[in-house]
């Protein structure tokens, strides 16, 4: 079946108990056993039918054999990092999500796992930064908030040349969603999602997901999922499943609205620079055209007038809500240097204080442009 059909049906046949069309919220911690050890489900940290449906759904959407669900995107990321032992090295994009940077630097470095950061769009730099101890290469594309694009297939080739010492290629696919980009088909080993964003899509749930094909790796991660226990509640799984049913329709509108707004901003006299993979001026526009079905709903731009100008614009919008996070139906605006990326100030990940990030929602694009227009007239 094709993506739009899978988004609605994958992992969700009518419920066996009463034929419920929507997967029920199995709000239970334990399950009756027919005889000792004879039960499909025994304890809800280990497995829950609502979660099973979500795991099967994300696997189908990523073209994967296996899916795993977690209490948050960070819990999913943590589960992957638990594969490492002291002395192992992680090579990550030099503008990874702030929470990923923080867990690598403040949690995992303390237990002897090393991390370094590289420009993932520069293949020679990636090759030079690989160490004999590199176990994971951690890629975001598009990145946050600079919307840089890394060439997943080319990175898979670079790693493939390392034979048995080949590190796992992990792609955080949160910004693109599986509708726009399918990293496993491009050679990645593991896909990570903060389902809090586009998959949930309605700013009403925190959730994380993994998708992969390798059976042995799946067994290790599934063991860790249960052993650590950062699993999502059944209601949260239900909300993500419901969100995913409209993912394809929402993403089309996110992309169309963002393209219009990016082009409008690029022509605005108060805007110095627009970062959007759908603009031909974007340095990796050609790669984005190759590996993505559309360019997504995230735009960053630098406003003339520095930090103060960025603050003025962000506080003056009325349709765009001043808020962190992204990927919901409603448009959001934020200043990364003062908000989402405050924790990486004075680090190599620090961003231009005049940078504004938009999560373009699915409202009428004319209303969104009128709102930005009035906000830029301060
Ligand atoms: C939000 C986000 C995360 C973390 O996910 P949570 O659900 O907030 O824990 C990880 N990666 C990216 C790219 C994100 O945007």
Q: Which among 78, 172, 352, 371 is annotated as catalytic?
A: 172
pLDDT at 344 (0 to 100):
80
Give the separation between CA 343 and CA 361, rounded to whole angstroms. Answer: 26
- Check pLDDT > 90 for residue 378: no
**CB 349, CB 96: distance < 8 Å:** yes
pLDDT at 22 (0 to 100):
94
pLDDT at 101 (0 to 100):
92
Confidence of residue 322 (pLDDT cuts 50, 70, 90): very high
- Check pLDDT > 80 for residue 348: no
pLDDT at 61 (0 to 100):
98
Give the separation between CA 340 and CA 353, rounded to whole angstroms. Answer: 12
DSSP-assigned states of every residue in 309-362: HHHHHHHH-SSSEE-S---SSS-EEE-GGGTTTGGGTTSTT---TTEEEEE--S
Walk me through the domains of the chain, giving residue ranges and CATH numbers. Answer: 3-244 (3.40.640.10), 248-375 (3.90.1150.10)
End-to-end alpha-carbon separation of the chain, Å?
51
Q: Which among 26, 97, 108, 198 is annotated as catalytic?
A: 97
Query: What percentage of the chain has pLDDT greater than the value 90?
Result: 94
Confidence of residue 336 (pLDDT cuts 50, 70, 90): very high
- Check pLDDT > 80 for residue 30: yes
Helix residue ranges, H only, 82-193? 98-102, 123-129, 152-160, 177-180
Report whether residue 208 contacts ligand 1, using a CB cutoff of 6 Å: yes
Is 172 considered catalytic here?
yes
Q: What is the per-residue pLDDT across 170-223, written as a single tens digit (0 to 9) for each?
A: 999 999 999 999 999 999 999 999 999 999 999 999 999 999 999 999 999 999
Average pLDDT, the chain: 96
CB atoms within 10 A of CB 288: 25
Residue 124: partners with Cβ closer than 8 Å, 6 or more residues away: none
DSSP 23: P
Residue whose CA is at the smallest distance from ligand 1 atom 8? 73
Is 97 considered catalytic here?
yes
User: Taking Cα atoms as reference points, which of 371, 364, 365, 342 lies closest to residue 355?
Assistant: 342
DSSP-assigned states of every residue in 345-357: TTSTT---TTEEE
Ligand 1 pocket test, candidate residues 69, 74, 104, 243, most atoms within 8 A of CB: 74
Report the largest interatomic distance among the alpha carbons of the chain, rounded to a whole angstrom.
Answer: 73
């Amino acid at each position: 079946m094709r993506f739009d059909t899978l988004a609605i049906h994958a992992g969700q046949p009518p419920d066996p108990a009463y034929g419920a069309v929507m997967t029920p919220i199995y709000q239970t911690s334990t399950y009756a056993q027919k005889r000792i050890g004879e039960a499909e489900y025994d304890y809800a940290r280990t497995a829950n039918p609502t979660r099973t449906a979500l795991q099967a759904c994300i696997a189908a959407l990523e073209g994967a054999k296996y899916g795993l669900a977690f209490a948050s995107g960070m819990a999913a990321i943590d589960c992957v990092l638990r594969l490492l032992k002291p002395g192992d090295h992680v090579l990550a994009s030099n503008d990874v999500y702030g929470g990923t940077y923080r867990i690598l630097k403040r949690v995992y470095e303390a237990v002897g796992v090393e991390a370094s950061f590289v420009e993932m769009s520069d293949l020679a730099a990636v090759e030079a930064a690989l160490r004999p101890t590199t176990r994971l290469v951690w890629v975001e594309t598009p990145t946050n908030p600079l919307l840089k694009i890394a060439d997943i297939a080319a990175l898979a080739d670079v790693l493939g040349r390392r034979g048995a010492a080949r590190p796992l290629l992990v792609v955080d696919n949160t910004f693109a969603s599986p509708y726009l980009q399918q990293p496993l088909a491009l050679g990645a080993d593991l896909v990570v999602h903060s389902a809090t964003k586009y998959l949930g899509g309605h700013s009403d749930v925190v959730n994380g997901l993994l998708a992969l094909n390798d059976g042995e790796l799946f067994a290790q991660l599934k063991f860790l999922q249960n052993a650590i226990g950062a699993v999502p509640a059944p209601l949260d799984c239900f909300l993500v499943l419901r969100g995913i049913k409209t993912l394809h329709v929402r993403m089309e509108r996110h992309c169309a609205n963002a393209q219009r707004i990016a082009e409008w901003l690029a022509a605005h006299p108060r805007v110095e620079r627009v970062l959007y993979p759908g603009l031909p001026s974007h340095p990796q526009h050609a790669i984005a055209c190759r590996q993505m079905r559309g360019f997504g709903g995230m735009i960053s731009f630098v406003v003339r007038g520095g930090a103060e100008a960025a603050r003025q614009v962000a506080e003056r919008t009325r349709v765009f809500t001043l808020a962190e996070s992204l990927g919901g139906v409603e448009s959001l605006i934020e200043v990364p240097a003062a908000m989402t990326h405050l924790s990486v100030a004075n680090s190599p990940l620090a961003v231009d204080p005049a940078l504004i990030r938009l999560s373009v929602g699915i409202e009428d694009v004319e209303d969104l442009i009128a709102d930005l227009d009035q906000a830029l007239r301060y």
